[in-house]
Amino acid sequence: MSSSHTPLAKTLHWGFVGLYAYGMFKQLDDLSQLEDAALLQFEVLFASVFLLIVVLRYLYMRRFETFLGAREPAAPGHKRLARAVHLSMYLCLASLPLSGLLIAGLYANGVKEGLLQGAVVELHEFFASLSYLLIGIHVAAALLSRLHGEGVWSSMVPVFKERERGGPR
């Protein structure tokens, strides 16, 4: 078994980080911005591409061990927890564009405010907040693994590689 992720896996991982960051920084200030048909169309296209990449990334990445590159086998509970966090991230990251598409669909069909649109907006904001939390947990776990010199960091991160035996170099 390989001790490092493939170049495609690393590209999907780090490319998605950029796509996610772009999505968070370009978010709308107000739903009324969707009055601009070109912006509405762009938002639908962006959400669709984002969702497609999340699904393709999940389908590709699920074939890899959770602790690829680890020097020692992970405890079963640790593996289950890591898988749960990863799966939660995928579900949350898929729910973001799905709820965004629902917002756009409602808006395009004249539901610009009210209980239904408000509930979907709240749901979308919930998934955004949850994504921050899950990504924070993911990053903290990666940093902790790096500090412990477990080898997992070096399998995915292109900088600050770990030494073959022991802690960080």
| Residue 114 φ/ψ region, left for φ over 0, alpha for ψ in the -120 to 50 degree band, beta for the rest | left
pTM, 2 dp: 0.82
Over range 17-26, report the average pLDDT.
91
Question: What's the burial of 26, exposed, middle or buried (CB within 10 Å: 0-12/13-18/19+)?
Answer: exposed
* Average pLDDT for 121-141: 94
pLDDT of 99:
97
Asked if residue 14 is part of any domain, the answer here is: yes
Structure tokens that stand for 96 in this block: 């973001």
The per-residue pLDDT for 163 is 63
CA distances 80 to 55, 60, 135, 152, 167, Å, are: 21, 19, 17, 16, 25
- Grade residue 39 by pLDDT with cuts at 50, 70 and 90: very high
Print the domain residue range for 48.
7-156
**What is the per-residue pLDDT for 135?**
93
Residues in the chain: 169
168 within domain boundaries: no
Is 1 within 8 Å of 65 (Cβ atoms)?
yes
Is 134 a member of any domain?
yes
Answer yes or no: is 130 within a domain: yes
Calpha distance 29→97 (Å, rounded)? 17
pLDDT of residue 48: 97
Mean of pLDDT values over 66-84: 75
pLDDT at 1: 37
Does a structural domain hold residue 100? yes
Rounded to 5°, angle at Cα 115 from 111 and 119: 95
User: Count of domains in the chain?
Assistant: 1
Tell which residue, 134, 110, 136, 106, has the closest CA to residue 121.
106
Angle at 44 between CA 20 and CA 53, to 5 degrees: 40
Q: What is the mean pLDDT of residues 20-26?
A: 91
14 compared with 149, residue with greater pLDDT:
14
Residue 62, pLDDT > 50, answer: yes
User: Is position 166 within any domain?
Assistant: no
Determine, yes or no, domain membership for 74: yes
Q: Is residue 64 part of a domain?
A: yes
